[in-house]
Amino acid sequence: MVAAIVVTAFTQGRAGVGALFRRHSLGRRGGLRPYAVTVLIVAAIAGSAALPVYLGTAEVEEAALRAALLGVPVQFLLIALVGGGNEELGWRGFALPRLQGSLPRWPPT
């Protein structure tokens, strides 16, 4: 992702970087509906996991829970920046359009 932004900035300037990000706007990805569905699914999973605690059949180790919750922002950043969490922008937004413009759709037989 970072490489796609840097190369686009050098070759096409600020307008090119803006166009790169506009290709991945919410409007082109189905609006807010997919994100709302995802939030509801995650909430349902979390709720079902918390159900035994609310029913009193399981206990939570608060120290372990706090430690895990403190690590969430770090994990998010690692996944997003290092682990390929944003590779879609680099691949579909930058590389794929250039490859499609320079290569035939089907390989010659």
53, pLDDT greater than 70? yes
- pLDDT at position 26 is 74
pTM for the complete prediction?
Answer: 0.53
Q: Which contacts of 15-22 are long-range, i.e. CB under 8 A and separated by 24 or more positions?
A: 20/89, 20/93, 20/94, 21/89, 21/93
Q: What are the extents of the domains in the chain?
A: 2-30+61-102
85, pLDDT greater than 70? no
CA 40-45-49 angle, to 5 degrees, is 145
105, pLDDT greater than 80? no
68, pLDDT greater than 70? yes
Name the one residue in this structure whose structure tokens are 């413009």. 101
Q: What is the rounded distance in angstroms from the CA atom of residue 59 to the CA atom of residue 82?
A: 35
